[in-house]
Structures are given as C-alpha cells and as structure tokens.
Amino acid sequence: DQQVKQNSPSLSVQEGRISILNCDYTNSMFDYFLWYKKYPAEGPTFLISISSIKDKNEDGRFTVFLNKSAKHLSLHIVPSQPGDSAVYFCAASVDNAGNMLTFGGGTRLMVKP
C-alpha cells in the first residue's frame, strides 16, 4: 500500500505558465515533506521542504503548499522554465523514524518553450 501517491505520472506546461504538481499521503504521522527533482541519468536532488507546522513554504519560483486535513501537498512553479523539465518526487517522513523518507512514484514535468 503506497503511503505517498503522485497520481499524475506526467504534466505538460507552456513556458511562463504555472506548473502544479500534486501529492497525497495516507499516514497521518508524517510530519515533514520534501520535493526532489530528478534529471535523466542523475540522482534526485533536494528542491524544497515543508514542516507539518506550516502550510506554505516559498523559495524563489517554487512554493510548496500543505493541507494537513486533506493529507495533500502541492508544488507550484511560477513561472515555469524549460530547464524545469524533470521528474519530481514527493517524499515524507515521520519524526523519530531514523530520517527515513517515503517517496511517491514521481511526476514527469515537461515545460514547452
């Protein structure tokens, strides 16, 4: 049973528009959420994170929103750029769980020029 789900395997967006990537989770014990970006032939790299005590965290063009009641988080990229084309993974962790992360299946974002 997947505890972290990314229901959209792919997303295509025009350059300059907003990209919204979604992630749902089932474990109410998750208290920290991260987004990773992965380019082909490279390992995932950390992008942005949010603690469960917040509902929004912003870093430049990237903003993560957390809705705890809905067990849902989203990553917004504004404006989208062709270099943002990658696979995005959502991940979650439980406090005192040895820093173990549970990843979603990933969403492939394609930003068209």
Q: Which residues bind another protein (CB under 8 A)?
A: 6, 31-34, 36, 41-46, 49, 51, 89, 92-106
Distance CA 55, CA 100 (A): 22
Question: Shortest approach of another protein to residue 17 CB, angstroms?
Answer: 26
CB of 79 to another protein, least distance (A): 25
The CB density around residue 80, as the number of other CB atoms within 10 Å, is 23
- Of 8 and 15, the one with the shorter C-beta distance to another protein is 8
For residue 42, the minimal CB distance to another protein (Å) is: 6
Map residue 91 onto helix, strand or coil.
strand
Which is closer to another protein, CB of 79 or CB of 105?
105
Nearer to another protein, 15 or 32 (CB): 32
Can you point out the beta strands (E) in the chain?
4-5, 10-14, 19-25, 30-38, 45-51, 56-59, 62-67, 72-77, 86-94, 102-103, 107-112
